[in-house]
């Protein structure tokens, strides 16, 4: 072996202390043989062994007691050689990198028999030995800490190919750090001529309870880190891994290590609650191990407890480093290099209990499990006319119970934020259930949050509710506790996308954060990813629980986000329907019509149900126009909506009142006006897609000729294409995304099983690439083609080349199914079948492609909880808009001479209700139609998902070709 091509590298400097002359001499022989280090200097009490990358000093300090301890440790480890894995039984170890672990194994002759090799002695990739002082010393030839593939074999005898040094190859305990000192390796100093050695290192960890979507978050963080030229690390087992340290717990990840993680539930890097980290000595160890790995920034995905620990860790970081330097555990150079630690939080919690963010990673996946279960329960409850009490998670937050109550039209919910006395909640529940039953409802669903309490803080259990329903209502009642089913399974599309976008933003945040910047928390408000103060968010979250425990329930509710309070008010209003006295006086009660226009979309029935029941609670009279404008013009298909007839609509897909693409002008706008006048409608809510948008425009323009249209009119966008101007979210998009995602997951599984195969999936969406772009992000598709970009021959050629490289990298390993998503209108020439044939031909045998067409499956079956709950929220806002704008237009309705359609006060009463960024907005149809719409393309002029598209491409390593026109 030549001196400039070492057998091992990794930990730059370490010290081993022997406590007897015999042990001292044995250590010199052991390390010289095992690691093939050469003696540089030696005296009676110290010997320095080294190669070009590793310095190891062996020091003699005579101590009979410690020598006895060393001998006992050697004996114990020797006795466990064949029964235990030393890697899991010792608290610290040295681990070095090597291109040839077999040579290290062979270098230990019979004199040093305490050796373990993995996976086998014949072909070891990791070798661990016990030195004469009882230390466990290892070498590994894996490319990184989690790889199962070895590096290339030796080029020739005596010559070895070595990987770059790793700064995370030893575990150093505080109890023995006086004998070992961390110094900067080349990559930490950053003064190497090799740019690869100047990279920053970002670590990610998951902590607390697991949540669906955490894997997508880790994948996005790892790949974004690598894409930005930094080194990516993961901390295994949460804070416990941080305290334990070493290559088994702080691992460098590569691009391929997180392949396929988006579609996997739980967290693949593990999570554990750690008592040690709650104390300063544990955090001191964590700081030492992060420095040892060369980590500059830490991203924590977890709940409020985990994020509290993260912010405390950052606040203590300067004092922790000072203590490490003062005690000689790190050098002054290391102290200077790592004196600041950037920390960022992403919230992973199924309870959705973090203030300042609308949704946490995993919450909507958990809600999806709950709604599916209740949908199933509803069927058996209806069969037997039973009552069911369903317990859901939520110790200090009733979000899951509340949203499930809205999404499934539950009769009653019990949440910790709004308790009542034991007598009051029993009376109230029995009153509502009794009214529902008396009006013909055969089922009763009561949802109880895990942390439900009475106002004296007495817990309310499902059994308590069961007893009341049985004893007082004489109902056949069953209890269902969903338990950890709520945490299980893969993430829904929303959580995959949220986790991915937040992961990308988290990396940006830690790279942009300065020492003076408060630790950021990545949140979502409405439809926008935002940064909030981590410490303020955690403080606000904890204050809710404190207010509840202090019985200050008004304060607790006030501290919840306004959206939570809004949802609770909506639930109570919709739930009361026409069973309680109307809230509004007789002269304020209106006749409000609702019509569905366009293709069916998930959440349409939820919108109709919520609008109608909310109208009833206010005192308004809701009407449905059945089968769209053509149904009205041809058959006068107007019916007053009845509560009993709508039971179950909240969770039904499709459109119960019927829909089609016909516009008022196509149906006969004069007849439409006649029936509006006949029924004296005071307001109109249109639920639909681009045809609904055009319909609203036609009605608004016809106001000059038809006074019947001089009423407040609101469009609630509902289309899987998400192409309605004025909003970034349409009802049905989430349902469609989930349906397409489930389809793609199955197709991808088939492709992975076949190995060298890619599927070209045909995606709906008209001229909008929204569905293909977001589905690509959710399922990790290698390529997506959208109408906004088309398919150029140059890009297609580049994509085929990238696919071939990816399949070659795979070398037959699992999780390598490839997907190509193609929007139907991305190209009329390249149909999915043609595209698959072209790709197969151009791949020249490297792989093949097949086409897959999910068709109208993409419209989805049952609407997703997001579409159900947002439909309710938007329906209530739409009715509120009609109530608020009656006076603005009522005078114009009667007087033709003074009516001015261009009057701003009048024109804004025809509006599109949408979500833009972090706000819910009402946008005038005239402004949108005239200035913000590509009418011919049926698209808004501004494509709001372009940034998402760039992220989807970057996370799969797609190379974009700039086409010159």
34 phi/psi in degrees, rounded to 5: -65, -50
Three-state helix/strand/coil letters over 286-331: HHHHHHHHCCCEEEEEECHHHHHHHHHHHHHHHHHHHHHHHCCCEC
Q: Please indicate, yes or no, if residue 126 is contained in any of the structural domains.
A: yes
CA–CA gap between residue 176 and residue 82 (Å, rounded): 27
Q: pLDDT tens digit string along 854-895?
A: 999 999 999 999 999 999 999 999 999 999 999 877 666 556
Same-domain check for residues 397 and 309? no
Q: Is 245 part of any known ligand binding site?
A: no
Average pLDDT over residues 23-31: 90
In CATH, what number is assigned to the domain containing residue 849? 3.40.50.460
The answer to whether residue 476 scores a pLDDT higher than 50 is yes
CA–CA gap between residue 685 and residue 701 (Å, rounded): 17
Q: Please indicate, yes or no, if residue 120 is contained in any of the structural domains.
A: yes
Same-domain check for residues 142 and 93? yes
In CATH, what number is assigned to the domain containing residue 33? 3.10.180.10
Q: Is 484 part of any known ligand binding site?
A: yes
Q: Is 349 part of any known ligand binding site?
A: yes
Least confident of 7-16, 204-213, 357-366, 400-409: 7-16
CA-CA-CA-CA torsion for 925, 928, 931, 936, nearest 10 degrees? -100
Q: Please indicate, yes or no, if residue 569 is contained in any of the structural domains.
A: no
Number of compact structural domains in the chain: 5
Q: What is the DSSP letter of 826?
A: G
Task: Report helix, strand or coil for 670.
Answer: helix
Q: pLDDT tens digit string along 899-932?
A: 788 888 888 999 999 999 888 999 999 999 999 9
Boundary residue ending a domain (437, 461, 486): 486
CA–CA gap between residue 401 and residue 419 (Å, rounded): 13
Percentage of the chain with pLDDT > 90?
A: 64
CA-CA-CA-CA torsion for 4, 6, 10, 12, nearest 10 degrees? -50
CA–CA gap between residue 49 and residue 46 (Å, rounded): 10
Same-domain check for residues 137 and 190? no
Average pLDDT over residues 593-601: 96
CA–CA gap between residue 8 and residue 54 (Å, rounded): 8
CA-CA-CA-CA torsion for 648, 651, 655, 657, nearest 10 degrees? 20
668 phi/psi in degrees, rounded to 5: 115, 90
Q: Please indicate, yes or no, if residue 961 is contained in any of the structural domains.
A: no
CA–CA gap between residue 167 and residue 169 (Å, rounded): 6
Same-domain check for residues 334 and 399? no
Which pair of tokens denotes residue 160? Answer: 């070895």
Same-domain check for residues 745 and 678? no
Identify the residue with better confidence: 707 or 99: 707
Average pLDDT over residues 29-44: 85
Q: Is 650 part of any known ligand binding site?
A: no
CA-CA-CA-CA torsion for 555, 557, 559, 560, nearest 10 degrees? 170
329 phi/psi in degrees, rounded to 5: -85, -25
Same-domain check for residues 497 and 461? no
Q: pLDDT tens digit string along 111-165?
A: 788 888 877 776 677 888 999 999 888 888 764 433 333 333 333 333 222 222 3
Same-domain check for residues 309 and 211? yes
Query: Which secondary structure element, helix H or strand E, spans residue 555, and what is its range?
Result: helix 553-559
C-alpha distances in Å from residue 134, one per residue of 70, 416, 866 = 5, 55, 58
Please, what is the average pLDDT of the chain?
Answer: 87
**Which pLDDT band holds residue 505 (cuts at 50, 70, 90)?**
very high
Query: Quick one: CA dihedral 869, 875, 878, 883, positive or negative?
Result: negative
First to last CA, the chain: 57
E strand map for 853-918: 910-916
Q: Is 350 part of any known ligand binding site?
A: yes
CA–CA gap between residue 522 and residue 221 (Å, rounded): 13
CA-CA-CA-CA torsion for 571, 572, 575, 579, nearest 10 degrees? -160
CA–CA gap between residue 312 and residue 21 (Å, rounded): 46
Q: Is 911 part of any known ligand binding site?
A: no
351 catalytic per annotation: yes
CA–CA gap between residue 307 and residue 245 (Å, rounded): 20
Task: Report helix, strand or coil for 685.
Answer: strand
Identify the residue with better confidence: 487 or 88: 487
User: Which pLDDT value is given to residue 613?
Assistant: 95
Q: Please indicate, yes or no, if residue 590 is contained in any of the structural domains.
A: yes
Same-domain check for residues 215 and 141? no
Other Cβ atoms within 10 Å of 69 Cβ, number: 14
Q: Is 274 part of any known ligand binding site?
A: yes
**Which pLDDT band holds residue 707 (cuts at 50, 70, 90)?**
very high
User: Which pLDDT value is given to residue 454?
Assistant: 93
pTM: 0.80
Which pair of tokens denotes residue 948? Answer: 């998402």
Q: pLDDT tens digit string along 56-74?
A: 889 999 999 999 999 999 9
Which pair of tokens denotes residue 27? Answer: 């250590």
CA–CA gap between residue 233 and residue 254 (Å, rounded): 9
CA-CA-CA-CA torsion for 271, 272, 273, 275, nearest 10 degrees? -130
Q: Is 757 part of any known ligand binding site?
A: yes
Q: Which of 131, 187, 351, 742 is catalytic?
A: 351
User: Which pLDDT value is given to residue 273?
Assistant: 83
Contacts of 475 (CB under 8 A, 6+ apart): 386, 387, 433, 444, 469
Domain of residue 876 covers 583-731+863-934
Same-domain check for residues 233 and 290? yes
Q: Is 173 part of any known ligand binding site?
A: no
Which pair of tokens denotes residue 470? Answer: 């049985």
Same-domain check for residues 851 and 877? no
Q: pLDDT tens digit string along 644-657?
A: 999 999 999 999 99
Identify the residue with better confidence: 439 or 177: 439
Residue 918 φ/ψ region, left for φ over 0, alpha for ψ in the -120 to 50 degree band, beta for the rest = alpha
Residue 45 φ/ψ region, left for φ over 0, alpha for ψ in the -120 to 50 degree band, beta for the rest = alpha
Same-domain check for residues 102 and 195? no
**Which pLDDT band holds residue 54 (cuts at 50, 70, 90)?**
confident
In CATH, what number is assigned to the domain containing residue 625? 3.40.50.450
Q: What is the DSSP letter of 351?
A: T
Q: Please indicate, yes or no, if residue 176 is contained in any of the structural domains.
A: no
Q: Is 886 part of any known ligand binding site?
A: no
Q: Please indicate, yes or no, if residue 573 is contained in any of the structural domains.
A: no
Task: Report helix, strand or coil for 920.
Answer: strand
Q: pLDDT tens digit string along 520-560?
A: 999 998 889 999 999 999 888 889 888 888 888 888 888 88
Q: Please indicate, yes or no, if residue 542 is contained in any of the structural domains.
A: no
Query: Which secondary structure element, helix H or strand E, spans residue 757, and what is its range?
Result: strand 757-763
Query: Which secondary structure element, helix H or strand E, spans residue 693, and what is its range?
Result: helix 690-701
Same-domain check for residues 143 and 274? no
**Which pLDDT band holds residue 812 (cuts at 50, 70, 90)?**
low
What angle do the packed helices 946-954 and 493-512 form, to 10 degrees?
80
User: Which pLDDT value is given to residue 193?
Assistant: 41
Please return the burial class of 680, using the count of CB atoms within 10 Å of its CB with bins 0-12, 13-18 and 19+.
Answer: exposed
The alpha-carbon radius of gyration of the chain (Å, integer) is 33
Counted residue by residue, the chain has a size of 965
Q: Is 303 part of any known ligand binding site?
A: yes
Contacts of 106 (CB under 8 A, 6+ apart): none
Q: pLDDT tens digit string along 192-201?
A: 344 434 578 9
The closest of 169, 291, 179 to 242, measured between CA atoms, is: 291
Average pLDDT over residues 668-691: 97
651 phi/psi in degrees, rounded to 5: -110, 15
């Amino acid at each position: 072996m030549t001196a400039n091509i070492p057998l091992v590298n990794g930990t730059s400097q370490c010290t081993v202390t022997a406590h007897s002359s015999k042990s001292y001499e044995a250590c010199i022989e052991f390390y010289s043989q095992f690691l093939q280090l050469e003696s540089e200097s030696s005296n009676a009490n110290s010997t320095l062994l080294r190669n070009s990358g590793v310095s190891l000093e062996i020091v003699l300090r005579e101590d009979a007691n410690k020598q006895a301890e060393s001998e006992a440790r050697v004996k114990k480890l020797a006795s466990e050689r064949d029964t235990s894995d030393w890697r899991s039984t010792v608290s610290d170890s040295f681990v070095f990198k090597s291109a040839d672990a077999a040579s290290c194994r062979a270098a230990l002759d019979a004199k040093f028999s305490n050796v373990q090799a993995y996976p086998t002695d014949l072909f070891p990739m990791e070798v661990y030995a016990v030195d004469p002082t009882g230390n466990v010393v290892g070498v590994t030839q894996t490319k990184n800490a989690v790889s199962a593939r070895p590096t290339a074999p030796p080029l020739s005898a005596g010559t070895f190919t070595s990987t770059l040094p790793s700064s995370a190859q030893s575990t150093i305990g505080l109890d023995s750090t006086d004998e070992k000192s961390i110094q900067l390796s080349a990559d930490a100093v950053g003064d190497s001529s090799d740019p690869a050695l100047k990279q920053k290192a970002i670590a990610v960890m998951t902590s607390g309870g697991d949540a669906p979507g955490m894997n997508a978050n880790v994948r996005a963080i790892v790949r974004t880190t690598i894409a930005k030229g930094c080194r990516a690390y993961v901390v295994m087992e949460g804070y416990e891994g941080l305290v334990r340290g070493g290559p088994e717990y702080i691992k460098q990840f590569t691009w391929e290590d997180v392949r396929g993680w988006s579609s996997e539930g739980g967290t693949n890097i593990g999570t554990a609650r750690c008592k040690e980290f709650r104390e300063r000595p544990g955090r001191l160890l964590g700081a030492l191990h992060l420095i040892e790995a060369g980590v500059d920034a830490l991203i924590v995905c977890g709940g409020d407890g985990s994020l509290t620990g993260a912010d405390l860790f950052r606040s203590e970081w300067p004092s922790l480093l000072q203590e490490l330097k003062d005690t000689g555990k790190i050098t002054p150079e290391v102290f200077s290099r790592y004196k600041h630690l950037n920390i960022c939080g992403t919230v992973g919690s199924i309870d959705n209990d973090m203030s300042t963010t609308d949704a946490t990673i995993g919450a909507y996946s958990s809600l999806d499990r709950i709604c599916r279960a209740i949908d199933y329960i509803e069927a058996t409850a209806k069969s037997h006319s039973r009552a069911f009490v369903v317990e859901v998670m939520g110790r200090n937050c009733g979000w899951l119970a509340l949203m499930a109550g809205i999404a499934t039209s539950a009769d009653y919910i019990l949440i910790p934020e709004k308790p009542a006395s034991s007598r009051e909640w029993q009376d109230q529940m029995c009153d509502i259930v009794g009214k529902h039953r008396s009006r013909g409802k055969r089922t009763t669903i009561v949802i109880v949050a895990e942390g439900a309490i009475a106002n004296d803080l007495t817990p309310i259990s499902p059994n308590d509710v069961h007893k009341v329903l049985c004893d007082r209502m004489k109902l056949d009642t069953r209890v269902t506790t969903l338990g950890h089913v709520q945490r299980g399974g893969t993430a829904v599309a929303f959580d995959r996308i949220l986790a991915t976008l937040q992961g990308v933003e988290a990396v940006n945040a830690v790279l942009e954060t300065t020492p003076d910047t408060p630790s950021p928390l990545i949140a979502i408000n409405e439809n926008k990813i935002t940064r909030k103060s981590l410490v303020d968010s955690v403080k606000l979250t904890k204050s809710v629980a404190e207010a509840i425990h202090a019985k200050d329930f008004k304060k607790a509710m006030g501290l919840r986000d306004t959206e939570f309070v809004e949802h609770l008010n909506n639930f109570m209003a919709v739930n009361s329907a026409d069973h309680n006295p109307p809230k509004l006086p007789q002269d304020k009660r209106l006749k409000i019509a609702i019509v569905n226009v366009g293709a069916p979309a998930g959440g349409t029935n939820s919108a109709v149900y919520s609008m109608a029941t909310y109208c009833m609670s206010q005192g308004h009279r809701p009407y449905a126009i059945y089968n769209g404008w053509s149904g009205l013009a041809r058959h006068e298909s107007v019916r007053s909506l009845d509560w009993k007839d709508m039971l179950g609509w909240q969770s039904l897909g499709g459109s119960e009142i019927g829909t089609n693409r016909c516009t008022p002008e196509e149906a006969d706008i004069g007849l439409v006006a006649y029936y509006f006048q006949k029924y004296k409608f005071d307001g109109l809510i249109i639920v639909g897609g681009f045809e609904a948008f055009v319909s609203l425009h036609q009605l608004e323009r016809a106001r000059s000729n038809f006074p019947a249209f001089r009423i407040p009119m609101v469009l609630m966008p509902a289309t899987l294409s998400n192409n309605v101007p004025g909003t970034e979210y349409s009802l049905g998009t989430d349902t469609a995304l989930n349906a397409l995602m489930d389809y793609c997951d199955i197709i991808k599984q088939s492709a992975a099983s076949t190995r060298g195969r890619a599927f070209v999936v045909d995606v709906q969406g008209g001229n909008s690439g929204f569905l293909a772009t977001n589905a690509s992000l959710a399922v990790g598709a290698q390529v997506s083609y959208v109408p906004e970009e088309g398919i150029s021959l140059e890009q297609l050629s580049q994509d085929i080349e990238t696919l071939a490289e990816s399949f070659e990298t795979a070398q037959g390993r699992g999780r390598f199914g490839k997907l190509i998503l193609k929007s139907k209108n991305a190209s009329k020439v390249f149909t999915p079948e043609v595209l698959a044939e072209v790709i197969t031909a151009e791949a020249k045998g490297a792989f093949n492609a097949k086409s897959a067409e999910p068709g109208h499956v993409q419209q989805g079956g049952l609407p997703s909880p997001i579409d159900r709950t947002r439909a309710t929220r938007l329906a209530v806002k739409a009715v509120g808009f009609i109530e608020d704008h009656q006076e603005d237009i009522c005078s114009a309705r009667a007087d033709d001479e003074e009516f001015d359609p261009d009057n701003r006060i009048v024109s804004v009463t025809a509006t599109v209700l949408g979500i833009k960024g972090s706000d819910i907005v009402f946008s005038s149809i005239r402004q949108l139609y005239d200035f913000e719409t590509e009418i011919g393309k049926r698209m808004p002029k501004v494509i709001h998902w372009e940034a998402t598209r760039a992220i989807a491409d970057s996370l799969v390593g797609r190379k974009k070709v700039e086409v010159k026109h």
